[in-house]
Structure 1
């Protein structure tokens, strides 16, 4: 059958010929290329590898490099970079990185580091310059550690440069267990100290961040711990902008903080990590924040958890919600990453991929600023040697910080102690290393307890000591590490020798079968690879004794004979399984003095790939014990009776106050407190010792305010120690014997009781903190004593000031004492003519001055016009006009002697 022939124009024929030519060429090229596909791809890849891509070009602006890198990632790769433990993208040479690291008062959870006073203790220094110096040292040690880990190819949690510190929440209620992590109850003090700390962490290089600081927890996050995942905190605009946000504004605007962590709780109905008002309008809008935002760990899962906020049913919807509001990074912890659902969220139209690009771009910008995509030779902090960690200069600095953080609350003349005085050291915190450290801490290089500090200072190893009581119930402060005074082993000749033999074994990984516990199982394998005799059951296993490599897994088994020195009911404390005479020990066990027991303890030091943590990184391994059956108070009274002066180390500890803790005891509720009094057993001990008629110096350790009412009336001297760092004992001894003039000041109010306090989950500021409290207090915010009488006079200030101008003040400071002093001068204002309710008093300035004995100095302070404002009911700043009462001196007016505070009135027009 013939097909009909149609006549075509010359144009049609020409087009058809061209098409045929192109088809022929395409088919020819395709046929030629099929046999050489592999070679062509390899050549292309090799060419790309040799080529310097824009994101690798250090001469280009960072934002251009970041955009180029993000643009090369697939959606799946981008989403994975939004987990705190971001995986490597090998094809782009992006290394794995875990953003989670801590540096609250020293590099934390990464082995040994210089441990400074807990944050609340550093706040008690009232010293911007010293705090900035401390943060600079912390960032030195952090950089040194990071590069040491990097050289060994380690990217576990706590090895990075993104520090989730400082905590600048306001310590609005003394019951909050995490208040120890903050800089106290005042927004101005918190903001100023936060700026100093952030600046020290981040450094002052024009191109690179030294480390990346994080202001947390944004916002309105101040307890209670037990319900923080489900609570909705309703707060007025006035309280929000007058109390809860000012420190965050300073962190962003003044310190240019690189990151912000959003909180677990809801604020006025919206989860903090999904609050458009907090994250979009205020943080990125008003404050112009351009860094990255991360969730508190597990906070995104709280969106859909029926036991938590339960505001959406879908993990994908929760993830999209958080990212759309501005939360760039998901810290997941045990519930893993909710952001793993973002790929599905994009697929279903919950969120646009462009917002994923924006979040990843912010995260990558932080890593670029830290120099992670540049040669170490270009980064000015990459060559800090590991030897700086815990060096002499850093240990001297933490001692200075401890000395300045101790606050003398009472002294009837017993202090300073005289040379040669016989001192007994009594109390559950006298030899308790926990209270040196607080929470979120590193491993101290040279920890000195109260007992050891006094022994070192006096040169008397036989200082009378007894714990006197438990801290509370069965929580003890006098645990002792098992050592060669009670542990023995058979040596090669069969003789019983001091110490215990420890054997080390390899560890094998197994498949996960129990998905209720999300840990990769590990078991001990083979025969012992290495063994040694330890004098005490304590080690810091950064390096595996099996492989010799940092953070490698291993198992240990210690065997020997346990010979108690006295009979009693003993309890063991520490990781591992303990057996005595072949029986596993659970709970207390009765042991007889001088009797030998076959002793064994087994423990595995392993990493957890699920949480990206290394067993040898966060904490030391130690096995401790305590004799629970001792007559503690009777022993203490006998020791105290033979002394001239009794130093009593009492209080609480980070084992019973802190973050979301499993502690439910009288006065304590899952990390928070329901009472601010000392535990009953300690009150009984103090009263019994006081009856002996000896001078009593009380040293209280706590991360929060204590109601020391009876103690104020009856003991001779009181020092508030907070948790003062690894040099505690040395610093305290120097203050007790007068080598150092006490200069710490309280960053929180010490109340007499909790009468009139609203519930902890009520976030209205009425009747909370010194700014709003209507009752009498035991010790005021800003209070503290020294050994030198100080006098303030001749306050110089303008009679009037145009609203919007800075205010400069001068006062004469006279040291009437015989000892040089480091004096904290404070400025408070009140605004009686404001058209809305304002704080009774507000701190607006402070400084430290070194004043010699008998010396007179002029102290000058300038208050920024930004501080001479009030907050109206809509949360807006309004420049104040009217009479301004100004108080300048040693604390608030109305506390202490009148000559300690000078007053003037200024008319603001």
Structure 2
């Protein structure tokens, strides 16, 4: 990146890091993979020394993103080898290298010998690492370290379970509620709970996650409200596949037997003595989870495998291979590699291949357990058939209300993933629409006259313009964690009044998004958008209503460096208690090229029906900092400022009061 506007860098990209360093006092900062102004971030002296340490006063550890130093000489080509890359990274301020294997920092003694870096310089960075470890008590007797004596009974205790539920509840964001269909009645007719995320516990965990002791799925949460006998469940469709696969696994043979021949070695390269050979007659779902062996005598780590079969095509057609693996995976047909990846978690992949009737194809899968990753392998193949929702609609006869739990999952969106489906590529989105198969299912439900409550689970904004027509209510449930299913049910059935507000803009569709390879903020997010999105930043409905009165400031004019207090009257004008999140946005008047508005403060205000309160929000001096092109830095400059306050970032939901800074 060589063309990041200084204003965008200082006003948009850096403030979150500055806040974490100066206000949260974080002890580690991670430098990223990419280059900024021709320097890889982990070798960027401006970022790691001038800004982070000198300007912001950070005194602790900088760690590389995993493999970022290796990238200096393998992809960026800014260093010739590991010796030069390691010296460059340390000199720039990267104290610790994270990488799976092949540590560049192992070459630091050679870099010292070449005069690329001094031993004294290396020691200064080692000192930061040792101080961090001393602070953690790594070298102390456990009796002296408070957290070393925390008993296992603290794990998943009642207080922690309550915290998990409270967090999930506060994140629930109601986006649509036609004719107040929500909350649902607990005592009534049978309801249907359908969709790919309804009974999906891992989806709730997000990614980069631990595994909870217990997880409440959305299906189980809803069943706890009305009783399992009053719930009809059906997955209805896949999250993204708009076809179903008719398996051809039974048509494959190896050695005259149905299925695949499996050969295992207790070493990673499929060499040496074979441990065992087995026959697999059903689609693969093999894992070492729970200390299960792939086959008798096969170790849990450091093993490899070869799976072989012959398949004679019954028709001339396109077939599809469905695979997912944690570890090394490679698929061959007739000796040609069709897919290969090393992955630390199991993700779905879809590989198409054209076959001719009567012709025999040799299918081969090579697998290897890697690093400390828990081995897992899934595989099937066959032909795809179009999905028909007729059977589903027939199954739902006599049921009026349908809760459809869909959206995405961390098998589709995340970091560097071997996923390639319409709308998804490598963990990124190629468009932001709800996957077509779910969209079509919702349309079929509406055409059948059902009242549809759409629970959307995702970690990102989804384009849902058609869903505002095909559904009666939309609840944005994110990835709610171990108690996410309980939180969804509490909201749907009125045991909790939703108060969540969108922390990101939900665009109408991808046409409202500038190119993501362009880092200019122009037209991007609520701060610079002029067009109306589908659901604006800060938006979220409640089961009650609120009126926000006219605010007052404790001062109409302040000097640079002073804070200000804004008092905002809030009244619950509905019939039940609820929480409103009052928001304050700041705009600098006559600031050419500046943001339309920027959130600078908010406050949760809980009120009983008919109750009025005053929300008091303190705005610190930094709330009025904007980039000053004359000084080439962030600063509070004299002039007029507008303070917009209300319950979302939309102009129609905001009122304005002016402030002068002298």
Q: Does 1:356 align with 2:122?
A: yes
Give 3-state SS (helix, strand or coil) of 1:696's partner: strand
For 1:716-865, what aligned pairs fall within 5 Å after superposition? 716-755=472-511, 757-797=513-553, 798-834=555-591, 836-865=592-621
For the 8 Å contact 2:215–2:483, the answer to whether it is kept is yes
Match of 1:441 in 2: 209
Q: Does 1:466 align with 2:215?
A: no
**TM-score for both structures, normalised by structure 1:** 0.59
Q: Write the distance in 1 (CA, Å) between the matches of 2:235 and 2:269.
A: 46
For the 8 Å contact 2:456–2:478, the answer to whether it is kept is yes
Q: 1:406 to 1:655 in 2, by over 3 A?
A: same
Match of 2:146 in 1: 380
For the 8 Å contact 2:186–2:225, the answer to whether it is kept is no
Deviates more, 1:286-295 or 1:813-822: 813-822
Q: Deviations over 1:565-623 (max 9, x none)?
A: xxxx997877799xxxxxxxx999xxxxxxxxxxxxxx9997x6xx4x264xxx9x798
Q: What's the Cα RMSD here?
A: 3.5
Of 59, 71, 76, which aligns to 1:290? Answer: 59
Q: Write the distance in 2 (CA, Å) between the matches of 1:385 and 1:540.
A: 25
Of 378, 382, 391, which aligns to 2:157? Answer: 391
For the 8 Å contact 1:825–1:890, the answer to whether it is kept is yes
Q: 1:553 to 1:301 in 2, by over 3 A?
A: closer
For the 8 Å contact 2:560–2:638, the answer to whether it is kept is yes
Q: Write the distance in 1 (CA, Å) between the matches of 2:574 and 2:214.
A: 34
Q: Deviations over 1:843-879 (max 9, x none)?
A: 0001212222221111111100111121123641221
Of 286, 303, 309, which aligns to 2:72? Answer: 303
Please report how far the alpha carbon of residue 837 of structure 1 lies from its aligned counterpart in structure 2 after TM superposition: 2.2
Match of 1:409 in 2: 175
Give 3-state SS (helix, strand or coil) of 1:655's partner: coil
Q: Write the distance in 1 (CA, Å) between the matches of 2:243 and 2:387.
A: 16
Segments of structure 2 that go 5 or more residues without pairing to the other structure are 246-263, 278-284, 306-319, 329-348, 352-365
Give 3-state SS (helix, strand or coil) of 2:657's partner: strand
Of 231, 256, 259, which aligns to 2:28? Answer: 259
Give 3-state SS (helix, strand or coil) of 2:523's partner: coil
Of 411, 416, 424, which aligns to 1:668? Answer: 424
Q: Write the distance in 2 (CA, Å) between the matches of 1:345 and 1:576.
A: 33
Q: Does 1:242 align with 2:11?
A: yes
Q: Write the distance in 1 (CA, Å) between the matches of 2:409 and 2:516.
A: 21
Q: Write the distance in 2 (CA, Å) between the matches of 1:537 and 1:389.
A: 29
Q: 1:522 to 1:327 in 2, by over 3 A?
A: farther
Q: 1:429 to 1:833 in 2, by over 3 A?
A: same
Please report how far the alpha carbon of residue 638 of structure 1 lies from its aligned counterpart in structure 2 after TM superposition: 2.2
Match of 1:450 in 2: 218
Please report how far the alpha carbon of residue 632 of structure 1 lies from its aligned counterpart in structure 2 after TM superposition: 5.9
Match of 1:905 in 2: 658
Q: Which has the higher strand share?
A: 2
Of 30, 40, 45, which aligns to 1:271? Answer: 40
For the 8 Å contact 2:269–2:368, the answer to whether it is kept is no
Q: Does 1:658 align with 2:414?
A: yes
Deviates more, 1:370-379 or 1:814-823: 814-823
Q: Write the distance in 2 (CA, Å) between the matches of 1:675 and 1:716.
A: 24
Q: Deviations over 1:784-840 (max 9, x none)?
A: 001010111131113222232101011111111222212211111111133x42110
For 1:567-606, what aligned pairs fall within 5 Å after superposition? none
Larger Rg: 1
Give 3-state SS (helix, strand or coil) of 2:442's partner: helix
For the 8 Å contact 2:201–2:215, the answer to whether it is kept is yes
Please report how far the alpha carbon of residue 724 of structure 1 lies from its aligned counterpart in structure 2 after TM superposition: 1.1
Match of 1:330 in 2: 97
Please report how far the alpha carbon of residue 523 of structure 1 lies from its aligned counterpart in structure 2 after TM superposition: 7.6
For 1:694-733, what aligned pairs fall within 5 Å after superposition? 694-733=450-489
Q: Write the distance in 2 (CA, Å) between the matches of 1:240 and 1:871.
A: 10
Q: 1:704 to 1:543 in 2, by over 3 A?
A: same
Q: Deviations over 1:309-350 (max 9, x none)?
A: 11121221111111100011111214x211111111111111
Q: Write the distance in 1 (CA, Å) between the matches of 2:621 and 2:130.
A: 37
Q: Write the distance in 2 (CA, Å) between the matches of 1:700 and 1:817.
A: 26
Q: Which runs of 4 or more aligned residues in structure 1 lie more than 4 Å from their structure 2 counterparts after TM superposition?
A: 474-477, 507-510, 520-526, 536-540, 542-546, 551-555, 569-577, 603-606, 621-632
Q: Write the distance in 2 (CA, Å) between the matches of 1:749 and 1:442.
A: 28
